[in-house]
A and B are shown apart, each in its own frame.
Chain A
Amino acid sequence: MSRSQKKIDKINFEIFTLTYGEIVTTLLKDYEDVEEVNNQLDKMGYSMGIRMVDEFLAFTGLNKCSDFRDTADAIANKAFPLFLGFPAGIQNFDEKKKEFSLVLDQNPLIEFVELPPKYKGLFYCNILCGIIRGSLEMLQIDVEAKYKKCVLRGDERSEIFISLKQDPKKGDK
């Protein structure tokens, strides 16, 4: 399937994880409102996402996704392993409503992290939502990506909910 023989350059996850930790703690120092930190993380992720698509297409040799199911698969089983080193799971895929949940069993971003109780409202990995949104937008796929659950907040698992923004003017994607 992939015409690309070369492998993407990899680095140890620790420096990535710790850098992200500093970003989050810096934002928490700058903003009173945890919701604003969530927004900032999403914005950063969006900016990253739009720059990640080319590399993604180059290393996976994928063409445009033919349907939404393909899109979900590309994110969970191709993009996540390529950039973050682990796949995500797809659950509750709804073909009609064009939505699904991404379940993250492993996540380098949250390694070592213990979220203090006062930051309960924080979605620590919200950057991922922005990355997904930004990269799909470059492929003309407009989605909403939102964290529904996060293990750092005490939920039983981490879950991002992704739904296609339905545009009544366009046909089915």
Chain B
Amino acid sequence: MKIICVGIIGPQNNPLLIHTDFSGEERKNIEYIVYTALDFCEEKIPAMSGNKKSSLFESYLGLLFPTEDLRVYGYVTNTHHKYVLVLDDSDVKDVDTKKFFVQLHDIFIQAISNPFYNYGEKIESLNFISNLKSLISKS
């Protein structure tokens, strides 16, 4: 997978982390894509109600929308955090993107468990960034 960007957005749609190697204008474009993805996430997240298919209540949201040369995937947690993955690939299997999100979830939980992290704030943990880079390079 060629990962362009990993975004973690909080329950109030506040960005906790936008990790990308791009900078300047390109970075702004990527950020715009992440925020656009949020709207698609909202559409895929059903309002609480028992009368829906169980598949709608999985964390993995799948492909949110393709752009010209990028594919954007989403994942939402029980605590309403949204993860956005922007890829530069057309040949990507769901099982791999899903696996990435699950591992991202693991390192996210590790990072927020730091007592010096205040819940809801931006993630600035060096350990987390390092774990994320490691995860990206393995994916």
Contact = CB atoms under 8 A, between A and B. Distances in A.
Interface in B102-130: 110, 113-116, 125-127
A166 interface: no
A21 B116 CA distance: 8
> For the side of the interface on B, what is the size category?
under 10
Interface residues of A, number: 14
Q: Which of A14, A20, A114 has the most CB of B within 10 A?
A: A114
A18 interface: yes
A112 B113 contact: yes
Interface in B72-113: 110, 113
- By DSSP majority rule, is chain A's interface helix, strand, loop, or mixed? helix
A111 B109 CA distance: 12
Contacts of A25: 115-116
Contacts of B125: 114
B87 to A, nearest CB: 29
A111 B114 CA distance: 8
A95 B110 CA distance: 42
24 contacts: A14-B113, A17-B113, A18-B113, A18-B115, A20-B115, A21-B115, A21-B116, A22-B115, A24-B115, A25-B115, A25-B116, A111-B113, A112-B110, A112-B113, A112-B114, A112-B115, A113-B114, A113-B115, A114-B116, A114-B125, A114-B126, A114-B127, A115-B116, A116-B116
Interface of B: 110, 113-116, 125-127
| 4 nearest A-B residue pairs (beta carbon) | A21-B115, A112-B113, A114-B114, A112-B114
Interface of A: 14, 17-18, 20-22, 24-25, 111-116
